Structure 1
Amino acid sequence: MRQILPLTSIFIFLFLNSFAQNIDSTIEKYGNDYGQEKTYLHYDKSTYATGETIWYKAYIMNGINAADESKTFYVDWTDDKGKLLSHSVIPVVYATAAGQFDIPADYTGKYIHVKAYTKWMLNFDSSFLYNKDIRILSKANNSSALKSTTIPSLQFFPEGGDAVKGVVNKIAFKANDQWGHPIKIKGIVQDNNGVKIDSLRTIHDGMGYFYIFPKAGESFTAKWKDQKGTVHVSELPAIKQTGVSLQVTIAGNKRNFVVSATPDIAASLGNIHVLGTMNQHEVFKLTKDFSQGNIKGIIPAEDLPSGILTITVFDEHWSPLAERITYINNQEYTFNAEMNVEHWGLNKRARDEVSITVPDSLAASFSIAVTDIGIDTDSSDNIISHLLLTGDLKGQVYNPAYYFSNNSDTISQQLDLVMLTHGWRRFKWEEVTAGKFPKIIYPRDTSYLSLSGKIYGAMPSQLRDAGSIVLIMQKQKHENKMVVVPIEPNGTFHDPSVILFDTSNIFYQLPKAKGLGDASVQFMENRLPPFSNNIAANGLFNNQLQDTAGDSRHLLFADEEKRLANLYKAKVLEAVTVQAKTKKPLDVLDEKYTSGLFSGGDAYQFDLLNDPSAVGSMNIFNYLQGKVAGLQITTGSPPSLQWRGGTPQIYLDEVPADADMISSLSITDVAYVKVLRPPFIGGTGGGGSGAIAIYTRRGNDKAMQPGKGLSNNTVRGYTSMREFYSPNYGTINENDDKKDIRSTLYWNPQVLTNRDNNKVTVTFYNNDISQAFHVVIEGMSSDGRLVHIENTME
């Protein structure tokens, strides 16, 4: 006979089952829709002197994949007081971004802080943003660094999160100084009666562990000595009277776990759930009867991706009880890339060639830095250790690259100490179990920083069918560019084809016929301002140990470069006599402003820069009346033009324009007008009625009169990117007689391989004094695999 369950039991079963399904779907949505990006920056060298340039390349990942959605990258540079020095905005290409920062020549701080992020990363815990302190070399900084006083500290981390009464608890500890460097300690752990429970011994880099078995009412302290023999007493975390203990051990490519609790707690819990997640995705889930107070399990890890596996224990109602992270290293995250020296030339100014080869059809992006082997270096962190370990942990990890030097059992156990002593919390379980998702304040930059804006001070009825806004972009050392962009009903406008770099002055003309003459425009409202919570550069985010000899050699390079730069600036140049035929002023204007089919030819030319009568004209058409034979101009709104039985075409900075637009253009903004006789070959329809080409003033023309001309705003786009200077001594150059003592011989952040080219060779030249080189190559494939190569050439 079939047993019938009570209605309440059925309800509880259905409720818990649906609750579990809700958690599954919530976690899956987190992983798919709220994947969190992380980044790593590769620099050309580890320390810098004042006046030098920091060259860098950023690699961006989302979980185990290259982050190909975000298109803009931000870097904030702050001084030792937290003051912002620069806010770099860089386009992202193939999940990478590259740029440079010039250290002020008068900078006096010991460090410069780097904070790097995408806009998407700001929606989540700021502890996972990229932070680094770059050490700045100077004679004063180097001498003061030796006098620094070490301040030791000791922290305790119960495995699973809490120390629980009535069961065996594993307590990890970490001893370090104020900069995060490990220190050696020794001591004992004792209970509140002074009875010794265990010894306190560091196992690796200031970390270790011990066991306690707390009873009701017990508390514990640690009595320890630092490296100078000073005695310290530290209290252990308070003992929880209820809860469970979670212990995880490493067994090859498996993870064994044990969950235990006192009998009374176990009986009250009934069933418990054990959930494993990686990169915000669920990788395993099990439910077990916990009434006996002890359950064990084995987690096979050979098929999991490398990274942090989080094991969380929940009660029957999915409230978290304990959590532990463990590291999985299956070494599938790398790809084969070989560095070969194709040509040795270590003599003074000799040519060197280095090749990077990858398997066929592998698309990858690399950065390569070549420095003098004698200067200071920092190999404590790299692209692999940061993107696979420290980028997912809170707090500093000392020498993280060490944990990827090999996959031995010893290193696995030492890496497990890192897992025990570092905070990690991508999930807020109270929100996950409630089905809540992060509030997205900063939408992802899925398109590049292009010309955009919004019109203010206009009614919706005015913006509806308003037409287009006319924009003239003025930038030093560049030709003016005019674009006409449609206005959306909400007052916004956007031209994705115009990517902005550096600073531009943008003049704008709104359609007056729609009553928008008094409206204003704000440009680039989606451009992210600097991060408000700036961090002072104090060395906390720098684990590099000082290399006295390397620092001295680096300073020698830098000081000599400064001396030579000042010497060459002061050097009097030899007089050079140039004989040339004098050009007519109109010919100079035509050569400066016109291009293509607009240049030369049979035309009337007008120099408004040097024509005082131009200021008295209302507009261009008023100015041209009576000056061109056969050209009939009837003023009105809009004006009409006739020439040889047709209407001449109008161009503003060689872009087609209409008469209504030109009539509202202030004549003080115009530098040159060229009326091309019919037929104008560059016009549509054969240009049978000629053309009128109007050119606006450029940055080096006479200054415009204040209060006149079009409204304008200064707009900042992407930070200008420069190319690293690498001399070519294979050709004769005027700079060859200058002494060459570069500490960075070569930097290239844009080395690419693909299916058609799996081998790339780079060429660079030695300086005057380096005898050997330190080469660092880092890269990421299109599928998110990583590579780090570090070699010497000597």
Structure 2
Amino acid sequence: MMNNKFVKLLRPSLLVTAFFSIASLAKSQDINTKIENFAGRFPAERTYLHYDKSSYSPGETIWFKAYTLAEIAPAEASKNLYVDWIDDKGKILQHTISPLITGMTNGQFDLPATYQGKSITVKAYTSWMLNFDSSFLYYKKIPVINPEAAGKTGPLPPPSLTFFPEGGDAVAGIPNKIAFKAANAFGDPVKITGVVVDEAGKFVDSLRNIHDGMGFLLLTPKANTKYTAKWKDDKKTEYTTPLPAIKPEGIAMRVSVLPGKRSFEIAASPGIVSGGDSLHIIGTMYQHVVFNFSRALSAEPITGTIPLQSLPYGVLTITAFDKNWKPLAERITYVNNPSYREEATMEVEHWGLSHRARNELVISLPDSTPASLSVAVTDLAIGADSSENILSGLMLTGELKGKVYNPAYYFKDSSLKAEQQLDLVMLTNGWRRFNWDKLIAGELPAVKYPRDTSYITVSGKLAGIMPSQISPASTIVVMMKQKDATDGKVLMMPINKDGRFNDPSAIFFDTARVFYKIQDKTLDGSMVQFMSDRLRTPAAGNYWTTPFKADTAGNAYHLKMATAANAILEKNKYKELETVTVKAKTKSPTELLDEKYASGLFKGDMNSVQLDVLNDPFAKSAMDVFTYLQGKVAGLQISGSGSNASLSWRGGSPQIYIDEMPADVSFASSLNVNDIAYIKAFRPPFMGGTGGANGAIAIYTRKGGDIKQEPGKGLSDSRIEGYTAIKEFYVPKYYSQFTAPDADKDLRTTIYWNPNVLIDPKKKQITISFYNNDVTDAFRVVIEGMTIDGKLIHHVETME
């Protein structure tokens, strides 16, 4: 669905059409409709991850907060964010899933203590983003400080020089601006000197190095002529690079960066002028039309000015078409509108002037719009990566192909010089959201990955059945127990005609074990597939293969702190082992069963009758579990059998549990006694669960080595996975600066991390507090965030 915020924004910008005083033709309106239809059906999403620090050592946890936008507003439609953690050999170490709430989520990845790579690659995306060019997914290589991975790097390939004719092609007989970019194997800029010569070796123009290895030359090429660049890198090594081939016919587009506007000039070759009567020029942002006009062709260039004040931030694409709507040239330029940023301020309310002392910071926002921030406080000595941030990630690089060196630089000021330097980035980086030929023909791309419009819940589908077998009363009963939970819950879900079932309220994290039974005999024999719509982990891609050079500033200090912290962990591990006294005694079969099956408040004797069904030879002859129980538990009255059984203990009905999850008589009676390993009858009152005033009967089905392979009998079970568990960052609280002589040193390099700092719109500020470690004297505070309407926040400050 189209972003309403973006549509409202564009309404004033449609005045650009009136500005050019060109009436829209019926075909232009048709093209507008097709583009808007595309934008409405295929809105582009992009994401950015803020980490607690910029580098890690093996054994550390990488904490992150993710921000996801659709156009210029939080991505509300997509509910799940996937992150792949890839080692430097291309293996996915973990595929994490986090729920997106108003376009934001957080999580963590535990870097293995045995990791020996130099970096870890992070790939983040929504399922919707997988339908489009993989260049627009989020990728990040994070350095891993690892002495085991140290070693000499092999010989690197020579630097590259790439040319980019403005508008797409260099056309004979027309003045052309041809940009270039010189970079080394790591994608870092190389300062070069050189000239361009023709086939005869005659000087044509110099290579003007303007900013970070980028520059341009001016050339009016001759037809059927080849041009070559002769250049030297910063080591004075000589190279030659051919320029792109010259097209005999076409158009050249020139765009100039001026304060508050962009001027353009479009010149056509004689063949284009004689063969057509007009050009159509369309401007788009985030796939929406911001202007559309036509101009008559002549020998004189077409010129005009595009005002920017009513446009949002981002890439503006200008495309020129011939009279038959065939694209001839395309140019991108950047609109840096600072009104889509929110300026945060920070004040130190209380300085902790010693180690383990408490600090208080007040973070304020000028706007009254609700905002969510992520705040990281790190030891200043470990260094930082200041080359990118939430502004550059969501406002620039998320919309471009190819590496942009030091993208954060372009958001440090809004001067004309910075805008002109950013225009060089536009000239030398790819952008292609539209396949114009297919779009104009009305062909839309196929959607292979449906958008995750709902959260991950207990769901599944039945296989091997016909829709006619499913009745409106068909249901599946699922008993679910989550990992490490002491209690479970029972879900009863209707089965739809397509065989699918789902409980939207059953959102869960980590893993869970489910036992299930289909309440419809006509569906016997069908196979149940849980979490059938879950996204399969896509291939790792090839970003992990790109050469990588990390900033080594602060690495030695960081490694020293990490090594010392790991040594303390190892020491404490052995200390714990030393305090363990091993006492062994022979355990009865019933005690062994209780140890294996019972957990939490169900574990131990606890005034219960324990029945070893697994080793009871008479269990096989019992019709059902209630027939088996008759006469075995003093005070428990059982009348009837099967689903008609009635239980009474001290004047009331005891609560029934199957594998520690609440169940009813009907469900329990369906169990095959041969599939039961152990039963505990808890005398009243039982406090281990809910409703145990009249005691409880806990039935445990066989598992592990106790499972008897008899297909089709007993209660089926499965293991399912939900969202990746989200841990809480540990922040110690020191109530005294006194340190005991035998106390471990606090060597944390991340002093504070909070991914969910919420600013109350009424107060417009919040106070956070944290405690120093035992070694740090100066901190770096990084604050990033997003308001509920998509404004971005970035603030960095040091405390020394």
Same fold (TM over 0.5): yes
Q: 1:766 aligns with which of 762, 772, 775?
A: 772
Q: 2:562 aligns with which of 551, 558, 563?
A: 558
After superposition, residues 692-703 of structure 1 pair within 5 angstroms as: 693-697=696-700
1:641/1:647 contact within 8 Å kept: no
Taking a change above 3 Å as real, the CA distance of residues 723 and 736 of structure 1, as seen in their structure-2 partners, is farther
Which residue does the alignment assign to 1:116? 124
1:363 and 2:370 matched: yes
Q: 1:92 aligns with which of 100, 108, 118?
A: 100
Taking a change above 3 Å as real, the CA distance of residues 179 and 671 of structure 1, as seen in their structure-2 partners, is farther
After superposition, residues 553-632 of structure 1 pair within 5 angstroms as: 553-571=557-575, 592-593=600-601, 606-608=609-611, 612-613=615-616, 615-616=619-620, 617-627=622-632, 631-632=637-638
The one-letter code sitting in structure 2 at the alignment partner of 1:607 is Q
CA distance in 2, matches of 1:476, 1:609: 25
Moved more, 499-508 or 379-388: 499-508
1:275/1:286 contact within 8 Å kept: yes
Q: 1:789 aligns with which of 773, 779, 795?
A: 795
- Deviation, structure 1 residue 774: 0.8
Moved more, 61-70 or 395-404: 61-70
Q: 2:709 aligns with which of 684, 690, 707?
A: 707
Aligned sequence identity (%) = 46
Which residue does the alignment assign to 1:425? 432
After superposition, residues 474-513 of structure 1 pair within 5 angstroms as: 474-479=481-486, 480-511=488-519
Which residue does the alignment assign to 1:719? 724
Contiguous gaps of at least 5 residues in structure 2: 1-23, 582-589
The DSSP-based 3-state class of the residue aligned with 1:131 is: strand
Q: 1:311 aligns with which of 293, 306, 318?
A: 318
Moved more, 624-633 or 279-288: 624-633
Which residue does the alignment assign to 1:75? 83
- Deviation, structure 1 residue 362: 1.8
CA distance in 1, matches of 2:680, 2:274: 91
CA distance in 2, matches of 1:749, 1:207: 37
Which residue does the alignment assign to 2:10? none
CA distance in 2, matches of 1:733, 1:514: 68
After superposition, residues 666-745 of structure 1 pair within 5 angstroms as: 666-667=672-673, 668=676, 671-674=679-682, 693-697=696-700, 704-707=706-709, 709-730=714-735, 737-745=743-751
- Deviation, structure 1 residue 53: 1.1
CA distance in 1, matches of 2:612, 2:758: 48
Taking a change above 3 Å as real, the CA distance of residues 698 and 642 of structure 1, as seen in their structure-2 partners, is closer
CA distance in 2, matches of 1:735, 1:448: 50
1:326/1:419 contact within 8 Å kept: yes
After superposition, residues 231-242 of structure 1 pair within 5 angstroms as: 231-242=238-249
Which residue does the alignment assign to 2:273? 266
1:83/1:536 contact within 8 Å kept: no
The one-letter code sitting in structure 1 at the alignment partner of 2:440 is T
- Deviation, structure 1 residue 764: 1.1
CA distance in 1, matches of 2:751, 2:62: 14
The DSSP-based 3-state class of the residue aligned with 1:452 is: strand
Which residue does the alignment assign to 2:54? 46
Taking a change above 3 Å as real, the CA distance of residues 221 and 590 of structure 1, as seen in their structure-2 partners, is closer
Taking a change above 3 Å as real, the CA distance of residues 695 and 736 of structure 1, as seen in their structure-2 partners, is farther
Contiguous gaps of at least 5 residues in structure 1: 1-15, 578-583
CA distance in 2, matches of 1:256, 1:703: 77
- Deviation, structure 1 residue 271: 0.8
Which residue does the alignment assign to 1:535? 542
For residues 625-659 of structure 1, what are the alpha-carbon distances to aligned partners after superposition, in whole Å with 9 as ceiling and x for unaligned?
345668453335x4343769x99586446977554
The one-letter code sitting in structure 2 at the alignment partner of 1:90 is S
- Deviation, structure 1 residue 143: 5.2
2:74/2:788 contact within 8 Å kept: yes
CA distance in 1, matches of 2:695, 2:551: 68
The DSSP-based 3-state class of the residue aligned with 1:137 is: coil
Taking a change above 3 Å as real, the CA distance of residues 92 and 490 of structure 1, as seen in their structure-2 partners, is same
Moved more, 668-677 or 267-276: 668-677
For residues 468-509 of structure 1, what are the alpha-carbon distances to aligned partners after superposition, in whole Å with 9 as ceiling and x for unaligned?
212122344213333222222222110111112112222222
Which residue does the alignment assign to 1:164? 171
CA distance in 2, matches of 1:414, 1:381: 16
RMSD (Å), alpha carbons: 3.2
Taking a change above 3 Å as real, the CA distance of residues 703 and 354 of structure 1, as seen in their structure-2 partners, is farther
CA distance in 1, matches of 2:490, 2:705: 19
After superposition, residues 751-762 of structure 1 pair within 5 angstroms as: 751-762=757-768
Which residue does the alignment assign to 1:7? none
CA distance in 2, matches of 1:629, 1:575: 44
Taking a change above 3 Å as real, the CA distance of residues 743 and 657 of structure 1, as seen in their structure-2 partners, is closer
The one-letter code sitting in structure 1 at the alignment partner of 2:776 is S
Q: 1:775 aligns with which of 781, 789, 793?
A: 781
Which residue does the alignment assign to 1:4? none
- Deviation, structure 1 residue 363: 0.6
CA distance in 2, matches of 1:568, 1:358: 43
1:128 and 2:136 matched: yes
Taking a change above 3 Å as real, the CA distance of residues 634 and 675 of structure 1, as seen in their structure-2 partners, is farther
2:358/2:771 contact within 8 Å kept: yes
1:609/1:702 contact within 8 Å kept: no
The DSSP-based 3-state class of the residue aligned with 2:454 is: coil
Taking a change above 3 Å as real, the CA distance of residues 660 and 411 of structure 1, as seen in their structure-2 partners, is same
TM-score by length of 2: 0.88
